[in-house]
Amino acid sequence: MRDDSRLPTSPGFWRSPLRGPWFTSVLGLVLLVGITVLFVTGLVSYAAYNPDLSPVNDKTPDKGILGFYLFAWPTDPHWLYRVNQGVHVTLGVTLIPVLLAKLWSVVPKLFVLPPARSLAHALERISLLLLVGGGLFEFTTGVLNVQLDYVFPGSFYPLHFYGAWVFFAAFVAHAVLKVPAAVRNLRRLRAEEPVSSQESAPAPERELVSPRPDPATVSRRGALWFVGGGSLLLFATTAGQNFDGPLRRTALLAPHGGPDPGSGPNGFQINKTAAYAGITAPETDEDAWRLVVTGRTGTLRLSRAQLGELPLHSAALPIACVEGWSTSDQWWRGVRLRDLAALVGHDDDPPDVFVESLQRRGAFRHAALRANQVADPRSLLALYVNGEPLTPDHGYPARVIVPAAPGVLNTKWVARMTFGETR
Ligand SMILES: Nc1nc2c(c(=O)[nH]1)N[C@H]1C(S)=C(S)[C@@H](COP(=O)(O)O)O[C@H]1N2
Ligand SMILES: [Mo]
């Protein structure tokens, strides 16, 4: 083999004394746990949209067998989506330094020549490309979606969803091959063992060790603290977006420059403003706006004043967005969805409902809710929040709020509700 240490294909090119089985094994085992949690919370998050209920809820209609695990999303506990999505996004951001350090620790392997020594070796290297490419792809699409607010209009969901399956399949194959060795390495090796004793490791792990290491400038343990410190910093500047009040201001990495929610009863985070959604004053005016409710016995047209005369109920529920931010519980007040169903002939057994907004464009202008969500006494067509009428940005004249559901299902500026239909 050529040994020209000016080329990255030569082992002598890579000089860091940090590289070796110990460093790679520690980072690998952290990612084993972390990425498994990301995958599970990601799948759960998709199920929370109730995609099999209606095509309008489903952003990946061609998923086929990959939807095998879907289930009717429950309404309890009411913070279910908030916690799931908070974990998914916050953990994903926190793991970025670990992922980068892990890739750095094995980067010499990407350059090893010949590209394949055998069929088995070729397959292993292809799976590594899927693993590295898939990992970078999932983390990048996730961060861009959270930070830039739908940079890939409509296509974020399929990219992130199918990417996750490719990545996780390669990840499982990799874990099956490597975890036993990683555990063995950590039993056998101590952090600061010299490079030479790490060289006694079995062949595949030996490839990580530089044959001509530079003198150390930091210990392996020190390098690990550095990576962990980076993760801690990201965690501390992201986690605050799951709360409101002073904690939210610690979320320096959460997207800023969005609509200012202001203060007072309606002063919690806004996703899309009324202006952005093209909702204008005349159509939401007291005398122009009617809620059109359709069901078994026909269609009713109700003004906001008529809705206000129906029995009103309160529920303390959060808004929890797929992007990872959420609010603490807000006090919503309005008409129970199941009472609206009863008005149009669904008295004892509330069915599914199709909800449409005044909004004319945009992916979230309509949504289907499942019967169990309609039946929950906390599910409301809200007219008030925290004791005040809804502001235009939070959905005036009326919006849906359902316990445990993702933000997307809480349709704002509702114009029409059709019971017994999901479209
Ligand atoms: N009509 C309509 N309703 C909508 C949306 C939308 O774009 N249009 N966005 C949804 C999303 S993604 C979220 S997270 C919540 C946010 O509600 P908020 O702006 O009151 O906090 O509204 C939901 N309801
Ligand atoms: Mo959202």
Q: Could you give the CA distance from residue 168 to residue 178 in angstroms, rounded to a whole number? A: 15
Nearest to 238 by CA among 263, 226, 256: 256
Q: Could you give the CA distance from residue 83 to residue 257 in angstroms, rounded to a whole number? A: 25
Domain map of the chain by residue range?
Answer: 11-236, 274-419
Residue to probe by mutation, ligand 1, list 364, 366, 383, 417, most atoms within 8 Å of CB: 364
366 CA: nearest ligand 1 atom: 1
Query: Tens digit of pLDDT for each residue in 223-262?
Result: 999 999 999 999 999 999 998 878 888 888 877 666 778 8
Higher pLDDT: 256 or 360? It is 360
Q: Could you give the CA distance from residue 221 to residue 62 in angstroms, rounded to a whole number? A: 46
DSSP string, 370-419: -HHHHHSTT-EEEEEETTEEPPGGGTTT-EEE-TT--GGGS-SSEEEEEE
CATH superfamily of 274-419: Oxidoreductase, molybdopterin-binding domain (3.90.420.10)
Contacts of 370 (CB under 8 A, 6+ apart): 50, 53, 72, 73, 352
pTM of the model: 0.94
- Note the pLDDT of residue 363: 85
- Note the pLDDT of residue 315: 98
Confidence of residue 97 (pLDDT cuts 50, 70, 90): very high
Each residue of 347-359: b (16+ CB within 10 Å) or e?
eeebbbbbbbbbb
DSSP conformation class of 257: S
Cα of 122 vs centre of ligand 1, distance in Å, is 48
The answer to whether the CB of 359 is under 6 A from ligand 1 is yes
CA–centroid distance for 233 within its chain: 20
Confidence of residue 1 (pLDDT cuts 50, 70, 90): very low
The answer to whether the CB of 49 is under 6 A from ligand 1 is no
Query: Tens digit of pLDDT for each residue in 163-200?
Result: 999 999 999 999 998 999 999 999 988 887 776 666 66
